[in-house]
A and B are shown apart, each in its own frame.
Chain A
Amino acid sequence: GENVEQHPSTLSVQEGDSAVIKCTYSDSASNYFPWYKQELGKRPQLIIDIRSNVGEKKDQRIAVTLNKTAKHFSLHITETQPEDSAVYFCAATLLRDSNYQLIWGAGTKLIIKP
């Protein structure tokens, strides 16, 4: 079936360095790719998303890039801070029986070392 693979499962970076999380998807019809952040004990929340007609989107220290040909997209966090520590999930849309849902990656635990 359709799936989304996310790597790495754990990422540890020094505070101030950049972090990159990568996802690949299998459904070529996917057209919406959100990233959610889940802090410890809290609910997942949308931090940035990108649509298939755009190659890159940036919001302050966070950016997402999309390569439709290769079917992969990445989250980039620059100048990492302690509050960036969380689990990050990528997702891609899947159209099923005229209703669309999200297929989720397994998550990346990002650890920011002081």
Chain B
Amino acid sequence: DVKVTQSSRYLVKRTGEKVFLECVQDMDHENMFWYRQDPGLGLRLIYFSYDVKMKEKGDIPEGYSVSREKKERFSLILESASTNQTSMYLCASRGRVDEQYFGPGTRLTVT
């Protein structure tokens, strides 16, 4: 059974803080993704990675960066959190087949 875990379910941060969201998968998947989910906007891709130390921008990368030092771990970094980054953040991984497996999500509130 694929497991994708995220470091926090709920997070409250202040404007300007640096925020780290971590995602770990245990299935040796090559591909990992970070999405944000907002009502009425679906799932929007922030960044993805298809291999260790590789990263590609998605549709909304501004204000975010990522790190993938190990295959199982993909981190999303908010360099200086802003209130418009308040959202649900979902991590996903995908192996050789097409299905994406999602983590439980992190609800981030920036005040």
Contact = CB atoms under 8 A, between A and B. Distances in A.
Interface of A: 1, 6, 9, 32, 34, 42-46, 49, 89, 93, 96-97, 99, 101-102, 104-107
Nearest to A93: B98
Contacts of B90: 43-44
B42 A46 contact: no
Given A43-B103, A43-B104, A101-B48, 12 more contacts: A1-B59, A6-B42, A32-B98, A46-B99, A89-B43, A96-B56, A99-B48, A99-B56, A101-B45, A102-B100, A105-B42, A107-B40
A90 B72 CA distance: 27
Secondary structure class of chain B's binding surface, majority of residues: loop
A14 B90 CA distance: 31
A34 to B, nearest CB: 7
B42 A89 contact: yes
Interface-central residue, A9, A34, A43, by most chain B CB under 10 Å: A43
6 contacts: A34-B99, A34-B100, A42-B104, A49-B98, A101-B45, A102-B45
Given A43-B105, A97-B56, A99-B56, A104 B50 contact: no
Closest 4 CB pairs of A and B: A106-B42, A43-B102, A104-B43, A104-B42
Given A43-B90, A102-B100, A9 B40 contact: yes
A93 B56 CA distance: 16
B61 interface: no
Interface of B: 33, 40-45, 48, 50, 56, 58-59, 90, 98-100, 102-105
A99 B50 contact: yes
Nearest to B54: A99
A97 B57 CA distance: 11
Nearest to B41: A106
B73 to A, nearest CB: 18
Contacts of B104: 42-43
A107 to B, nearest CB: 5
Contacts of B43: 44, 89, 104
A2 B63 CA distance: 22
